Amino acid sequence: MNISTDIGVWVGALFAIAIYSILYKDNLAYSVVESIFIGATTGHAIVVGVQTFKSTAWTPLVGGKLLFVVPLIFGALLYTRYFPSVSWLNRWPLALMMGTSAGVAMRGAIESQVVAQVSATFVNLLDINKFLIFLGTVLSLTYFFLTFQIKGKASLLPKIGRYFMMAAFGAAFGNTVMGRISAAIGRFQFIFVKWLGLGS
Amino acid sequence: MHLAKRTIPVAIAFVCGIIQVVDYFFKIESVNTWAQEIRSWVSIVAIFALGLGAVNVLRVHLKKVRQAPSESLNSILLLITFLVTISIGLTAGQSSKPYKFIFDYIIVPTGSAIFSLLAFYIGTAAYRAFRAKNAEAAILLVTGCIVMLGKVPLGEKIIPFAPKWTTWIMEVLNVGGQRGVMIAGAIGFVAVSLRIIIGLERRTYGVD
């Protein structure tokens, strides 16, 4: 056994153990590390935000792009929520963000999630796998058909569609489980190999 | 006042949204310039929103410390770490040694430990989800188990065909099912986006 002498490795390992201690029961070590983590992460987000602000807003503004005053004013208006008499002013920047995001998301959704998916579905349908993909897509879509209730023998279509979706969810679940387990293995390797020096 | 409180926000959302949509469908250079300009404005306003989050964190935890100082060890630690990280990051820079220490030995390992915690909790969720009570649950169970076994070398020893079947499930059944969900979700998403742009969904920006 060759225990690490690096203070950073000690901190990382002890913090990881404190996090895993929640699996036994809620305790002081877990909540302390959790608070430190939230503080550091929030601080990091602010530091990154300030750097981004400098490069995307401040530098162009100082360089002569006076139109950048608009987002600065709108950004400042977000803070009016702390002053009840003028708190309604924070609707303006929110409207800017929501309107733009809706427009941008709409373009993205139409292009990548509708047109691209539909055109990728109707390809080489004589191939059994491609045909199954086509069938899965169409039948899954019938499950979301809510204009009127599908009755009789046709009600079998959304049912089969649901089976396709359950297969997809099972696959996604299995994938997620394995992803998380590999993250846990990575942490255990850090604790046992890098910190305690076992098996190195 | 009605104009400033209700009409202007609706107009802002409409103009900003419609410019993005028009820019996509009609390639007009001046519209494209404005669409890009507005998108860069939004990313700047989003930074201010991030600051708003930080102010909220400060307010909540300072209130806790003021109300019961002896019972707020966690809030004190959070505030100290928060302020230390910000002051180091803004004065010494993100490539300085102390900042790298915070990032490499506090944020990254603790973050991945928290992320991996779900591996344990997901086990109990799997127990509940994977009980084959009906055909749907049975399909979920079978595909989930095959994919899990197919992703590790041990799985191949237990069921030799697991990796091959995993590939087939991921590339055929998964694609078929997910694609249907994706298209249906996107259609709903487009509908909601349209409602926001034309001012039917005003609550998203605080107007009743």
pLDDT tens per residue across span B116-171 = 888 888 877 777 766 777 898 889 889 999 999 998 888 888 888 899 999 999 99
Query: Total structural domains in chain B?
Result: 1
Count of pairs with CB atoms under 8 A, one residue in A, one in B: 395
**Helix H or strand E segment including B176:** helix B174-197
Say yes or no for a CB contact (<8 Å) between A36 and B50.
Answer: no
Q: What are the C-alpha distances in Å from B83 to residues A47, A49, A107, A113?
A: 11, 15, 40, 42
Residue B46 in any domain: the answer is yes
Test mutation, A90, A181, A190, chain B, max B CBs within 10 A: A181
Which residue from B minimizes the CA distance to A181? B119
Name the residue range of residue B3's domain.
1-84
Q: What is the pLDDT averaged over residues B105-119?
A: 91
pLDDT tens per residue across span B165-207 = 999 999 999 999 999 999 999 999 999 999 999 999 888 888 8
User: Is A71 near chain B, with CB under 8 Å?
Assistant: yes
Q: What is the pLDDT averaged over residues A86-90?
A: 93
Residue B140 in any domain: the answer is no
Residue B143 in any domain: the answer is no
Residue B1 has pLDDT above 80, yes or no: no
Supply A8's token pair: 């950073």
**Helix H or strand E segment including B192:** helix B174-197
Q: What is the pLDDT of residue B176?
A: 93
pLDDT tens per residue across span B49-103 = 999 999 999 999 999 999 988 889 999 999 999 999 999 999 999 999 999 999 9
Say yes or no for a CB contact (<8 Å) between A113 and B182.
Answer: yes
User: Which residue from A115, A173, A128 is spatially nearest to B172, judged by alpha carbons?
Assistant: A128
User: Is A164 near chain B, with CB under 8 Å?
Assistant: yes
Test mutation, B6, B12, B56, chain A, max A CBs within 10 A: B12
Residue B40 in any domain: the answer is yes
SS3 of residue A121 by DSSP: helix
CA distance A181 to B50: 32
Do B131 and A161 form a contact (C-beta atoms < 8 A)?
no
Do A107 and B20 form a contact (C-beta atoms < 8 A)?
yes
SS3 of residue B200 by DSSP: coil
Q: What is the pLDDT of residue B204?
A: 86
Residue B176 in any domain: the answer is no
User: Is A160 near chain B, with CB under 8 Å?
Assistant: no
Give the residue carrying structure tokens 């590790």: B152
Q: What is the pLDDT of residue A200?
A: 59
Q: How high does pLDDT run on average in chain A?
A: 92
Q: How high does pLDDT run on average in chain B?
A: 91
Do B116 and A180 form a contact (C-beta atoms < 8 A)?
yes
Q: What is the pLDDT of residue B131?
A: 74
